[in-house]
Structure 1
Amino acid sequence: MEAFLVSTGVVALGEMGDKTQLLAIILAATFCRPWPIVAGIFVATLVNHAAAGAVGGWVAEALGPDVIRWVIGASFIAMAAWMLIPDKIEDGAAQDSRGLGVFGTTVVAFFLAEMGDKTQIATVALAARYTEVVQVVIGTTLGMMLANVPAVFLGDKIAKKISMRVVHGIAAAIFCILGVLTLFNVGSLF
């Protein structure tokens, strides 16, 4: 039970003000469909944290920090470019032109944003500390949900007051800055 409670608390607190919390707001403002976003966050987090708990240490050792840093930095810059591609809007909800939809876009965006993030690293460390890996993964996933679900519903409420062009520009800037900071091995912005 300790592994679950510690994992939940550490990640919930660590996620406050994190880039994925900002991503939750941006997705909610862009798509105006909170439940598929919440489901996408859950799936992406569960898969990401399960992988972090099971193989995170091995991957970091096998590839080395420099290769991982370049992959993550390039991914953030690619996300920045993707955010600048206008979405088609039908019936008041943004539609992903690549056919991923709200749920798929959320899963991909959250999974990429969590790669190398402090909560993923915390999951690896907690799984190394506690032998109850399943409790760690459930706890870290719950912590992410506690921090991000309110952000999704906040984003949905402010969607009507913010221009989608502004939202996309801000998101692109955030991802670009994160990508550059990652490539130059600068500490986390958030």
Structure 2
Amino acid sequence: MESLWMSTGVVALAEIGDKTQLLAFLLAARFKKPWPIVAGIVVATVLNHALAGLLGAWITTQLGPQVLRWVLGLSFLAMAAWTLIPDKIEDEEAQVAQRLGVFGATFVTFFLAEMGDKTQVATIALAAHYAQAFWVVVGTTLGMLIADVPAVFAGEKLATRIPLRWVHGAAALLFAALGVATLMGLGKSWGL
């Protein structure tokens, strides 16, 4: 269950202020239909993170324990640094939302916005670290929903009240702690 809770917490923190959360604000302001937006977020996130979890599980079969430990440890440290860089929503992603229906716009834009995003990379690394892809995907999906669903319902008022630098700092500290722990060989799932 550690993989579920750690994945949920890390992604919930990392997602605050992320471009997909900004996209949730934008879609909510534009369409004013929260339930199709939430449904689009759920479907896009499950699909995207399931693919990332499968990739993470596959990586564990391709790399030896020592190489995997170093790759994951350094990946978590890189994620810590990347989390400190604020995201901005891209104009192209916002334009897609104007051409499709509410659910379709949310699904497409969220799925595309997550490709190569911090939370997708985190899902890959966490699935490889814990060797429990299913629970990691459930956790990272919950983390996304914890951060993005309130954004849909509360809109920009919520964003102005949360100190994003502190939240990003907390997420960076979690990623850094995972990186250091992994480099020190504290990964029980590999028998190190």
C-alpha distance in 1 between matches for 2:130 and 2:117? 20
Partner-residue secondary structure (3-state), 1:6: helix
CA contact (8 A) 2:49 2:123 kept: yes
Q: Which runs of 5+ in 1 are unaligned?
A: 60-78, 88-95, 159-190
Deviation at 1:55, TM superposition (A): 2.3
Partner-residue secondary structure (3-state), 1:17: coil
Q: How does 1:81-160 map to 2 (within 5 A)?
A: 81=92, 83=94, 96-97=98-99, 100-155=100-155
Q: Deviations over 1:137-172 (max 9, x none)?
A: 0000000000000000122989xxxxxxxxxxxxxx
Name the count of aligned residue pairs: 129
C-alpha distance in 2 between matches for 1:146 and 1:118? 16
C-alpha distance in 2 between matches for 1:81 and 1:118? 19
C-alpha distance in 2 between matches for 1:141 and 1:11? 8
Identity of aligned residues (%): 63
Deviation at 1:81, TM superposition (A): 4.3
C-alpha distance in 2 between matches for 1:157 and 1:35? 19
CA contact (8 A) 2:56 2:125 kept: no
Which AA in structure 2 matches 1:147? A
Q: 1:44 to 1:84 in 2, by over 3 A?
A: closer
Partner-residue secondary structure (3-state), 1:137: helix
Which AA in structure 1 matches 2:17? G
Residue 5 in 1 paired to residue 5 in 2?
Answer: yes
C-alpha distance in 2 between matches for 1:5 and 1:133? 13
CA root-mean-square deviation: 2.6
Q: 1:50 to 1:25 in 2, by over 3 A?
A: same
Tell me what 2:30 maps to. 30
TM-score, normalising length from structure 1? Answer: 0.61
Deviation at 1:132, TM superposition (A): 1.4
Tell me what 1:39 maps to. 39
Q: Which consecutive aligned stretches of 4+ in structure 1 deviate over 4 angstroms post-superposition?
A: 56-59
Which AA in structure 2 matches 1:101? G
Deviation at 1:101, TM superposition (A): 1.1
C-alpha distance in 2 between matches for 1:82 and 1:126? 27
Partner-residue secondary structure (3-state), 2:155: helix
TM-score, normalising length from structure 2? Answer: 0.61
Q: Deviations over 1:166-189 (max 9, x none)?
A: xxxxxxxxxxxxxxxxxxxxxxxx
CA contact (8 A) 1:7 1:123 kept: yes
Q: Deviations over 1:17-51 (max 9, x none)?
A: 11111100000001100000001001100000000
C-alpha distance in 2 between matches for 1:115 and 1:82? 12
